[in-house]
Structure 1
């Protein structure tokens, strides 16, 4: 039996919308056409004039299972991603136990397959227990999506070079949270006028950019694919731009919250604004936007990081780092950037689909005949408020509560199966 999406729209190269029908069968897009024949037994789904795109791809989420199921589980995290229009996510390795050996990696991958409602690609850690002391058995962990120590920057240049050399031989990317620990003792937010006003210890820009500068040169020496998580500073954008011009194989992501907010939006000592890297200055935010537009930054990734209310509803001095983002990413970015003509709709969709897929050589993020039936349906006329009571995630830790948006995902299809409908959310 085929699923046929009727009365839909697709986005053309010139950002206009045209009528389309889509036939899905056997987990694959079988046909895309203005009109098509249907057969008895076909499951017809009326899209009511809404837009169909490739399913979104997020290369940076935290699912918390195993080890911190009170914050999130594979099931709740992937349901949250599906509600946000994502059909593929890459899960970070800050788990307990961490995926730092072949057996644990395989166990977590099996659990992802069993419990996830969408596709989950699993990172392996670079070092055992993410302690930064001993590199894992990389050669026997080639099923990993990539290697990263996630929120812990590799402090030793020698260790990072060895990691990159080994990863290059395996053809697997090295992904990094870039932070020089010696430059950020106890910081909880961006070092600037807002941190001084609030009397909170700051995190300076150079702590990120100096690590990126080091690593792009190591990546050049090793010949590996090096990917930078959640870029946040203007200096980092400059270093990445220069590295790309030099022909170094480097890719980078930026989060919705770093595009949407600055440290001046933090009016009070509120743990829901605590994230790492922190919200930066307006000059940094503008550099991130420019970096996306000129191709220095390749993609948007959410860094979805759920925590309990007890961990976030406290002073920034005591709160955990991170905010949730899977369920708000498209709506907020569409409202704040596409509706205001900063980005085109095509650019935004590309940064959420084909761009991350191309960077990591994934066979997803494509809306074309023969591709995996990973699809996101978007109601561009929808109007609403960010309401954490509707979240599928266990985490409600977001500074965007009450923000008004236009446009939202209403259906998500992964491997030919409908995994989210807006009507199902109570």
Structure 2
């Protein structure tokens, strides 16, 4: 197939054509336009396909949480949001903590249209897998038993994973326990818990030569530590979520607080603005959703987390319109950097992987329509949990089409 129009990379924006081989699904050429596009891209920007390297699709062999989401519905939500590849977290009922359980879960991902990379879990007694995979360490309480209660226990486990790719949920369980009786969710999980856990994670990443990633970063006070670590050569990157870029504690009301509860919680307006600028500068590397599809009933009784896969592409247009992000920056944090993160874990049939418009890379694209707004409603989303924190909000742009290895999924 052939897609022509305004192409975007990290370095430039230009008029051109992407040619995708129908048999392999790989890009064979990026060349000049000749008026023969297979899809209408008028008024659009054509990006390498967006990646979301932090989601919770909920499906495992137990089937116990598939009422929230599964790999089929997560895939539909991803395509709707312009996402072509995702990485799924391991805090399942049956957690993928060894080769057998990881492979068992991988078989379930075959129903997904978008490519799924699977993290393996790190817990107090786990060991590295024999295959090459990314890992996730929950420093504080989470679903199941994949978490740690103190720094010593965490370090004993991390020492077994020297040199591995490890992502950290940075919240200090001791500080959170000290604040357990505070009146609000946000006060029970204060920013200093994230800052304290950041210092520990950075030390472990450096000491044990990890390729580290800090998940869903939210507080401005930790940013100088991350930047200093990067400058001295520590292999660390960081994510930020749409909700920590869009919402802050000033948006919380008695009516919406249950819907805007997540871990880490929303922070002060100054933190939100600091995240926006850190992402722009490159101090934060990825927009990753932490897509957490809890049901309406679960949110009403206090479950933390929000779904985002359906709205990721539209959210990118908000960053461009509201905060003057240029297209190249959008490409870097939504497509190219997520592509780099998963590249070493991909099967050979995906060629050079995701995130670049170049021969040999996967022919998966995100086509953003900058002129057609998207009004978010419960009826419009594809996630099984059937709600969005952006309900009632109209994004300035939308996803015109998502291309998966040469197959077009059109919206609207």
Q: Tell me the TM-score normalized by structure 1.
A: 0.85
1:153-196 C-alpha deviation (Å, 9 max, x unpaired): 53443443344443334xx311111111222249799x8xxx77
Aligned twin of 1:339: 321
Which consecutive segments of 4 or more residues in structure 1 shift more than 6 A?
A: 186-189
**Selected match of 2:135 from 135, 146, 162:** 146
The correspondence of residues 345-424 of structure 1 with structure 2, limited to 5 A, is 345-362=327-344, 363-418=353-408, 420-423=409-412
Distance in 2 separating the partners of 1:228 and 1:291: 14
Distance in 2 separating the partners of 1:283 and 1:47: 37
Aligned twin of 1:124: 120
Aligned twin of 2:81: 84
Aligned twin of 1:56: 50
How far off its partner does 1:49 sit? 4.9
Aligned twin of 1:27: 25
1:85-139 C-alpha deviation (Å, 9 max, x unpaired): 11110001121211122211101001102x1111000111102xxxxx31x2314
351-360 or 380-389: bigger deviation: 351-360
Distance in 1 separating the partners of 2:15 and 2:74: 33
Task: Compute the RMSD of aligned alpha carbons.
Answer: 2.6
- 1:219 equivalent to 2:205? Answer yes
- 1:319 equivalent to 2:302? Answer yes
Residues 14 and 359 of structure 1, relative CA distance in 2, 3 Å threshold: closer
* Unmatched runs of 5 consecutive residues or more in structure 1: 128-132
Distance in 2 separating the partners of 1:47 and 1:16: 14
* Unmatched runs of 5 consecutive residues or more in structure 2: 345-352
How far off its partner does 1:36 sit? 5.2
Distance in 1 separating the partners of 2:342 and 2:82: 19
Distance in 2 separating the partners of 1:399 and 1:4: 36
The higher relative CO (CA closer than 8 Å, separation ≥ 6) is in: 2
Distance in 2 separating the partners of 1:90 and 1:118: 10
Q: Report if the CA contact (8 A) 2:20-2:405 is conserved.
A: no
How far off its partner does 1:24 sit? 3.5
Distance in 2 separating the partners of 1:387 and 1:187: 36
How far off its partner does 1:360 sit? 4.8
Distance in 1 separating the partners of 2:35 and 2:393: 43
Residues 277 and 386 of structure 1, relative CA distance in 2, 3 Å threshold: same
How far off its partner does 1:19 sit? 4.5
Residues 117 and 361 of structure 1, relative CA distance in 2, 3 Å threshold: closer
